[in-house]
Amino acid sequence: MKGGETKDGGNGQGILFMEVRKMHKRLKKIGLGLVAAGLCMTLLLTGAIPLCEAGPNERVVKIGHHVALTGALATIYVDATHGSVDHVRYINEQEGINGVKLEMMWEDTQGLISRSIMAHKRFRDAGAIAEIQCDVTCTETLTPAYQREEIPAMYGAGITSPMVTYPVRWVFTYTAAHGPQTVRFMEWAKANWAEERPLRIGFIIFDLAVAWDEMKGGREWAPQMGMEFVGYEVVPIWGVIDTSTEWLRMMNKKPDWVFVGAGGAALVTLARDAHRLEAQQKDIKLCSAVYGMDESHAKAIGKGAEGWYVLKPAPSPVETDLPGVKLTNEVAKKYRGFKPEEVSSHYRAGWLYISIFAEAIRLAMERVGYENLTGRAFRDAMVTIKNYDTPEMIGGMIPPITITEECPFAVASIKMYKVEGGKILPLTDWLKCPYNLPELEHET
């Protein structure tokens, strides 16, 4: 049994989740931090998050999963973890990957470096051939170890320079780098700008590498795109309880758009403060990064989420015409009792992490066989994934996946959404992000 596992077969989970949801409602008015902490601690203490462990006589492949079920990032990663765990369970119930089952080990690292290092050592010693990471700084810190020990990892957002290893990649990401995502958003904003004067854009970010990449991309490209970069503000990741000063300074610069690079508890505080200070009533449009606003955030923020624009690399619950959305709704209902509107885009992102891993495992076993499946074989298979889109894994939720040494990420596009009536509604089709970053330029 791994940390947090239960052998109740899921029969008690429906009752448990009913109690958790009741508690969620009671805590809702207290604020996101207490809601996330209370909910996640209940799940942890009761063993409600099932790990998918195969039987003693079955062939298995072990995966290590760094998660944030408590702490400032829990709003994002509780749902993503649900999606990952449920997909592993679903795959195993479908007889695995060509008869090989997946075994997921997890640790609640909270996005903290010390906890992530210890988790990595446990996963490595237990025989995990690959890991999924929840935090950019932890991923960057462990990148040399991943390369040295030949254990590939995937981070659930965008690639950054310290994650790039030579001569081959050992760290992969779900999305392209955040700088290009920001540039693509700015192109869309400019294309929809009707006034003759230059569009004015500012950034408010939390102090995390991916958010800095977004701001730097905006600052560099705004003049080249005929925009005016008015400045940026930075808030902490942890313990953010008021951002009035940052908002007032930004609003005083009279931006037309403010791009908010933040997630978890920090985003909730930022969005509530923007609402209280009536930023949108002052003709300021607000846009959230790909790891930011989703259905869980919007619920916690309440009315303050209305009118926000959102970049997303995974579909929202309203896109029910997609086969993958239908399937994930069915799985989430079966395993967790969720209604379709409760299955967030981050849940689907977690599902897609496992889709990518499952395909790499399949390709690796085709090449070297199960007996020779190692981290190196898994890594080599990752960069051969081409035009991958199957109904039971992807289901049209994202463009077909191709991963290479030059582009070591799964999703190279974003879609624009907007929060209206409490729902996150799509505004565009997939928008291809430019990718000519210095992260992958290297002097040999």
At 358-406, the pLDDT tens digits run 999 999 999 999 999 999 999 999 999 999 998 878 989 999 999 999 8
Shared-domain flag, residues 139 and 114: yes
Report which secondary-structure segment, H or E, holds 331. helix 323-336
The reply to whether 18 and 62 lie within a common domain is yes
Task: Specify the amino acid at residue 115.
Answer: R
Pair (197, 162) in one structural domain:
no
Residue 1 lies in a domain: no
In a domain, 7, yes or no: no
429, part of any domain: yes
Percent of the chain at pLDDT above 90? 68
Residues 182 and 172 in one domain: no
277-325: per-residue pLDDT in tens?
999 999 999 999 988 898 888 988 999 999 999 999 999 999 999 999 9
Does the residue 5 lie in any domain?
no
Express each pLDDT in 425-436 by its tens digit: 999 999 988 764
Helices (H), 109-254: 113-126, 136-149, 178-191, 209-224, 244-252
* Greater model confidence, 183 or 14: 183
pTM of the model: 0.81
The reply to whether 52 and 146 lie within a common domain is yes
Cross-sheet strand order for the sheet of 409-411: 101-108, 60-67, 130-133, 153-158, 171-175, 409-411
pLDDT at position 52 is: 56
444 has a pLDDT exceeding 50? no
Residue 269, in any domain of the structure: yes
Q: Are residues 22 and 144 in the same domain?
A: yes
List, as one string, the DSSP characters of 12-65: THHHHHHHHHHHHHHHGGG-HHHHHHHHHHHHHHHT-S------TTS-EEEEEE
**Mean pLDDT across the chain:** 85
Same domain, 20 and 119: yes
As for how many domains the chain has, the answer is 2
> Are 172 and 304 members of one domain?
no
Q: Do 109 and 238 fall within a single domain?
A: no
Q: Which domain holds residue 45?
A: 13-176+320-411
Tell me what pLDDT residue 75 has. Answer: 78
Domain co-membership, 115 together with 130: yes
**CA-closest candidate to residue 297, choices 260, 330, 333, 254:** 260
Residue 3 lies in a domain: no
What are the tokens at 9?
A: 């077969």
Quick one: 190 and 273 in the same domain? Answer: yes
Assess if residue 78 is contained within a domain: yes
Lowest-pLDDT choice from 28-37, 130-139, 245-254, 408-417 = 28-37
CATH of the domain at 61: 3.40.50.2300
Q: What is the pLDDT of residue 31?
A: 42
Q: Is residue 164 located within the same domain as residue 224? A: no
Q: Is residue 430 part of a domain?
A: yes
